Amino acid sequence: MVCFEIEPFAESVFVEVEPILRSAMDGHNVCVFAYGQTGTGKTFTMDGSNEQPGIIPRALEELFRQSSVDNSSSFTFSMSMLEVYMGNLRDLLAPRLCNKAYEPMSKCNLNIQTDPKGFIEVEGLSEVPISDYAKARWWYNKGKRFRSTSWTNVNEASSRSHCLTRINIFRHGDGLEARREVSRLWMVDLGGSERLLKTGAKGLTMDEGRAINLSLSALADVIAALKRKRCHVPYRQVFC
C-alpha cells in the first residue's frame, strides 16, 4: 500500500499509480483509494478538474494507451460506478427517466453476493462497455453527476458517500491456447472523516457525516484484520 499523507494531486501521485494500472492489465485485481479528513482534496485527487485531470480520468486514458501498444494480448473494458450512501449501495450508472440528480434511481440498495468461486458481486449493478477513452469519460462524467454532495462549513461540495468506480479488464490472448482473463481495477473516492462541530452539519448532512465516520472506522477494522491475517475479516460491518 502506498500512502500520500499530505500531498494534493500532483504528477508524482500518478507516477505511483501507473505500475498499479500495469498490474491490473496483467490480470491482477487492484484498488486505489483516497482516504482522509473532509476538505483535504480526495475528490480533487481522484477526479481533478478540466485543467488538472485526477487519477480516474488519467487512469482511463492510460488503460486505453497501454492496451493499444500491447501486442501480446487484446483488451476490452467495461465500467460500473456505485456509491455507498448511508449504508446503502446505489448504482450511479442505472438508467433514469431524466438526467437530473434528484430523479429517483431505478437501482438503489443493491445487495452484495458471493459467487460459488468466492468472488464478490454486486447484484444487478449496471456494467457498460467502454470502447475508447471518450466513451469511458462520458460514462464516468454521467455517473459522478449523480453522486451525493452537500455544502458544509469545511467544503462547499463535500462528498456525502463513498464513490467506487470499477473497471473490468478483459484480456484475450492470441493463439489456440488463448484464454480470456478478467481483472478488476477499483478506484475509490471515500467520504471524509469529519468532526460535526467543525463542519456545522445539521439534519440529513449530520446523519450522512455520522454514517461516513462509522463506515470509515469499519474500513479501518477491515484493513487491520487483513494486515494481521485474521481468519475473520468484518467486510459487511461497513454496511451495518
Ligand X SMILES: Nc1ncnc2c1ncn2[C@@H]1O[C@H](COP(=O)(O)OP(=O)(O)OP(=O)(O)O)[C@@H](O)[C@H]1O
Q: Do residues 212 and 194 make contact, with C-beta atoms less than 8 angstroms apart?
A: yes
Shortest spacing between CB 8 and ligand X, in angstroms: 3
- Would you give the distance in Å from CA 224 to the centre of its chain? 21
Shortest spacing between CB 185 and Mg ion, in angstroms: 20
The response to whether 43 counts as a known ligand-binding position is yes
Q: Bin 39: left if φ > 0, else alpha if -120 < ψ < 50, else beta.
A: left
Shortest spacing between CB 48 and ligand X, in angstroms: 9
Site for ligand X in 34-73 (CB under 6 A): 36, 38-44
Please identify, using beta-carbon distances, which residue of 40 and 80 lies nearer to ligand X.
40
Interface residue with ligand X, options 78, 126, 148, 159 (CB under 6 A): 159
**Count of helix runs (H) and strand runs (E) in the chain:** 6, 10
H or E element that contains 73: strand 73-85
- Of 32-40, 61-69, 103-111, 132-140, the window that binds ligand X (rule: CB under 6 A) is 32-40
DSSP code at position 48: B
The response to whether 40 counts as a known ligand-binding position is yes
Q: What are phi and psi of 13, to 5 degrees?
A: -70, -45
Q: Which residue has the cell 445539521?
A: 202
| Site track for ligand X across 163-202, x = CB under 6 A | ----------------------------xx----------
Q: What are phi and psi of 49, to 5 degrees?
A: -135, 180
Nearest to 59, CA basis, from 189, 141, 167: 167
Please identify, using beta-carbon distances, which residue of 158 and 165 lies nearer to ligand X.
158
Interface residue with Mg ion, options 40, 43, 152, 205 (CB under 5 A): 43
Question: Which of ligand X, Mg ion, none interacts with 8 (beta carbon under 5 to 8 A by kind)?
Answer: ligand X
Interface with Mg ion by CB under 5 A: which residues?
Answer: 42-43, 159
Binding-site members are: 36-43
